[in-house]
Amino acid sequence: MTAPLVRLAAIRKRYGAVDALQGVDLDVGAGEVVAICGDNGAGKSSLIRVVSGAHAPDGGTIEIEGRAVRFGSPLDALKAGVATIYQDLALAPRQPIWQNIFIGAELTRSILLDKPRMREESRRYLARLRIGIADVDRAVDTLSGGQRQAVAIARALRWNARLVIMDEPTAALGVAESRQVLDLIRELHRAGTTVILISHNMAEVVEVATRVAILKGGRKVADRPAAGLSADSLAHLVMTGTLQ
Ligand SMILES: Nc1ncnc2c1ncn2[C@@H]1O[C@H](COP(=O)(O)OP(=O)(O)O)[C@@H](O)[C@H]1O
Ligand SMILES: [Mg+2]
DSSP code of residue 18: E
pTM of the model: 0.92
Which stretch, 2-16, 92-106, 171-185, has highest mean pLDDT?
Answer: 2-16
Q: Which atom of ligand 1 is nearest to the CA of 16?
A: 4
Does any ligand 1 atom lie closer than 6 A to the CB of residue 11? Answer: no
Q: What is the pLDDT of residues 109-141, one digit of tens each?
A: 667 778 889 999 999 999 888 887 889 999 999
Name the strand (E) or helix (H) holding 134: none
Contacts of 222 (CB under 8 A, 6+ apart): 212, 213, 214, 237, 241, 242
Q: Is 182 in the pocket of ligand 1 (CB under 6 A)?
A: no
Q: What percent of the chain has pLDDT over 70?
A: 96
Q: What is the mean pLDDT of the chain?
A: 92
Judge contact between 239 and 202, C-beta under 8 A.
Answer: no
Residue from 13, 22, 45, 196 whose mutation best tests the ligand 1 pocket (most atoms within 8 A of CB): 45
Considering only CA atoms, which of 13, 106, 123, 8 is closest in space to residue 59? 13
Find the 49 Cα to ligand 2 centroid distance in Å: 10
Report whether 63 contacts 80 (CB < 8 A): no
b/e map of 56-94 (b: 16 or more CB within 10 Å)?
Answer: ebeebebbbeeeebebeebeebbebbbbbbbeebebeee
Residue 113 confidence (pLDDT): 76
Asked if the model's pLDDT at residue 23 lies above 70, the reply is yes
Architecture of domain 6-93+163-240: 3-Layer(aba) Sandwich (3.40)
Is 86 a residue whose pLDDT tops 80?
A: yes
Q: What is the predicted pLDDT for the residue at 80? A: 93
Q: Is the pLDDT score of 96 beyond 80?
A: yes
Distance (Å, whole) CA 15 – CA 156: 29
pLDDT score at 103: 82
Show Cβ contacts of residue 122 under 8 Å, excluding neighbours closer than 6 positions.
97, 98, 101, 102, 136, 154
Percent of the chain at pLDDT above 90?
75
Q: Which bound ligand lies closest to the C-alpha atom of 17?
A: 1
Mutate to test the pocket of ligand 1, among 46, 51, 200 (most ligand atoms within 8 A of CB): 46
Ligand 1 contact via 43 beta carbon (within 6 Å): yes
Q: Are residues 144 and 177 in contact, defined by beta-carbon separation less than 8 angstroms?
A: yes
- The Cα–Cα gap between 129 and 142 comes to 19
User: Which ligand 1 atom is at minimum distance from the Cα of 198?
Assistant: 21
Contacts of 192 (CB under 8 A, 6+ apart): 30, 31
What's the pLDDT at 39? 93
Give whole-number Cα distances, 79 to 69, 117, 162, 182, 219, in Å. Answer: 12, 21, 10, 26, 29
pLDDT for residue 107: 67
191 ligand 1 Cβ < 6 A: no
| 3-state DSSP assignment of residue 205 | helix
CA of 96 to the centre of ligand 1 (A): 34
Does ligand 1 lie within 6 Å of residue 238's CB atom? no
Would you state the pLDDT for residue 244?
65
pLDDT: which is higher, 134 or 100: 100
Average pLDDT over residues 73-91: 89
* Amino acid symbol at 223: D
* Average pLDDT estimate for 2-12: 95
The domain locations on the chain are 6-93+163-240
Residue nearest to atom 25 of ligand 1 (CA): 41
Average pLDDT over residues 149-173: 91
pLDDT in tens, 181-202: 999 999 999 999 999 999 999 9
Kindly identify the ligand whose nearest atom is closest to the C-alpha of 24. 1
